[in-house]
Chains A and B, each alone.
Chain A
Amino acid sequence: MVRNTALTTDKNILQNTPLIAKAVLAGASPQIRNMASTAGNLLQRTRCVYFYDITMPCNKRNPGSGCSALKGENSMSALVGYNEQCVAVHPSDLCVALAALDAEVFVTSENKKKIKIPFKDFHKLPENTPSLDNTLPQNALITHIEIPMEAFSKNFAYVKLRERTSYAFALVSVASALHLEGDKIIEARLASGGVAHKPWRWYEAENYLKGKKASAETFAKAASIATENIKPLSKNGYKIPMLKGAIETALQNSLKS
């Protein structure tokens, strides 16, 4: 567990999993990154104007009171994985990179048992318990995170689209990582922030990319696969073309990194 700034300068991270540093640098401000910590980043609450406005109903703050965002101001809200109980999104950039790289969260429980939680299972969808953002057991502590050393240190990108270019949460963000042999994609990872209650993996698009030639056409098709069945809320349909473009751009930029 280190400060977020440390993640952006650590030799090991920069050499083996530079996508992590890239994502962290896209988040918050230097001052906040100096104070923020790894576990704190994982455990920050989802952001939604109604969650913070204590005069409005919110199932996350007051279970059973209703979701004000569902038919209200939901332009920043989720595109996938939401339900009528909650449409909030997880705000982290770091967590999008950790999800893309299949990290594992190591936890010590209150009775000192050591537990390993795959990153994809660490954050949860709202389900019937929108007040819970993650699966960390009650009274447990996060002790460390492991990131597999796979072949994603060369071709990767983090694209974050937001209302201003610094110190803003993502409208949509995309982490992409490609394991290439020549121009053939051996394995692809694609994850997004700003679209769901948890960092979201685009597994279907990843499967499509596997074995294909890395080209603009392939990337465009992958972006279509990821976005074609999305059902937006009343005010966030604008995010779909944005997301599609961000996926294509992230994949394209992965070739240059």
Chain B
Amino acid sequence: MKPYTFEKAANTNAALRSKNEKAQFIAGGTNLVDLLKKKHCSTGCFDRHYVSCFQ
């Protein structure tokens, strides 16, 4: 298993603060998780910090 971390941001500003080159925003419906499972995102998706900002 490739490691990743997940953070739920409280609001837009908090989400933007958490964004850096290792972090990626995630939202329901983006099908990013599909792509991860299929090892589709070979670079840039794994070992990442995912930030959700769903209010």
Contacts and interface: CB of A to CB of B under 8 A. Distances in A.
Interface in A19-74: 32, 35-41, 43-45, 52, 54, 61
A1 B27 contact: yes
A3 B55 CA distance: 10
B5 interface: no
A155 interface: no
Nearest to B34: A52
A4 B29 contact: yes
Residue of B15, B27, B53 with highest tally of chain A CB at under 10 A: B27
A139 B19 CA distance: 7
Contacts of B31: 44-45
B19 A54 contact: no
A110 B29 contact: no
Chain A interface SS verdict (over half): mixed
A164 interface: no
Chain B: interface size category: 20 to 34
B27 A52 contact: no
Contact of A141 (B29, B39, B53): B53
Contacts of B55: 1
A9 interface: no
- B-side binding surface: helix, strand, loop or mixed? loop
A54 B30 CA distance: 19
Interface string B1-41: 00000000000110110010000011111110001001110
A143 interface: yes
B30 A44 contact: yes
B38 A54 contact: yes
A75 interface: no
B29 A112 contact: no
Contact of B16 (A35, A52, A112): A112
Interface centre among B15, B19, B29, B54 (most CB of A within 10 A): B29
Given A43-B30, A44-B31, A37 B54 contact: yes
B15 to A, nearest CB: 6
B49 to A, nearest CB: 13
A139 B27 CA distance: 14
16 contacts: A1-B54, A4-B29, A35-B29, A37-B27, A37-B54, A39-B29, A45-B31, A52-B35, A54-B39, A54-B40, A108-B16, A110-B16, A141-B12, A141-B16, A141-B25, A143-B12
Given A40-B29, A54-B38, A108-B12, 15 more contacts: A1-B27, A4-B29, A32-B29, A36-B29, A39-B30, A40-B26, A40-B27, A43-B27, A44-B29, A44-B30, A45-B35, A52-B38, A54-B40, A54-B42, A112-B13
Interface of B: 12-13, 15-16, 19, 25-31, 35, 38-40, 42, 53-55
